[in-house]
Amino acid sequence: MKILIVGYGKMGRTIEKIAKERGNEVPLIVDTNGQSFFDDIPEGAADVAIEFTQPEAAFDNIKACLERKIPVVSGTTGWLERKPEVEEIAKANGSAFFYASNYSIGVNLFFHLNKYLAKLMSGQQQYKVEMEEIHHTQKLDAPSGTAITLAEGIIENLESATSWVLDEGGEVKKGEVPIVALREPEVPGTHSIKFSSEVDEIEIKHTAHSRQGFAEGAVTAAEWLVGKKGVFGMEDMLRF
């Protein structure tokens, strides 16, 4: 399989290493949002693209690939207000788009554990829920896409939760799920959810030790996506 890597930061380099170890080719790499680069891609040069860039560049990069019928696996967060547009572009061009806020298999299991715990806690009004996420200082968006996905899972399953809010020390209103977003050097990603009462607390937590798990999941998704048409996510690939 021939993979086009869009975004050649730490994640892009890790993806390249893993892709080649698994027997794939990486004939093309782009590290900037340049339309001329995509115009010069010959037909058949890539079977799939893996895109990890910046929020301001993601839409144009993904659109350029899909219009050339190159399926895209994307992990960029902070641009999702335009995700419905990308999905329509994929369908219109007979291509495929795969998105996840986090490609770690462990995190996606954690997503489901989070939903199950929230469902168990519905009706237990004595507990208040809060979240914390920690990422490396180069991560620009806050809260993280993973934290937002976790918050959405809580809102979907916890009767008392209606929305999430970035906790910057202000008042948290009834129904809001507060998210504390911290940035520290060399932290791949840590997410925790805590339900607290006056007498006890319940906490679940996922800690990534490296980018390896994220990159392996993205390459696995790319291998799975080749030959498909439509819009997909981790739940489709993992068959939850």
- Supply 192's token pair: 């925790």
> Among residues 69, 128, 135, 228, which one is catalytic?
135
115 part of the active site: no
At residue 70, what is the residue type?
Answer: I
Give the helix/strand (H/E) hosting 234.
helix 234-238
Question: Across the strands, what pairs with 223?
Answer: none
> Among residues 63, 139, 191, 206, which one is catalytic?
139
Looking at the chain, the number of H-run helices and the number of E-run strands are 8, 11
Report the phi/psi class of residue 233: left, alpha or beta, with left for phi > 0 and alpha for psi in -120 to 50. Answer: beta
Inter-CA distances, 104 with 119, 129, 184, 202, Å: 23, 24, 20, 23
The neighbour count for residue 160, using CB atoms within 10 Å, is 18
DSSP letter, residue 80: G
Chain position carrying tokens 């999702």: 80
135 part of the active site: yes
| Catalytic residue annotation | 135, 139
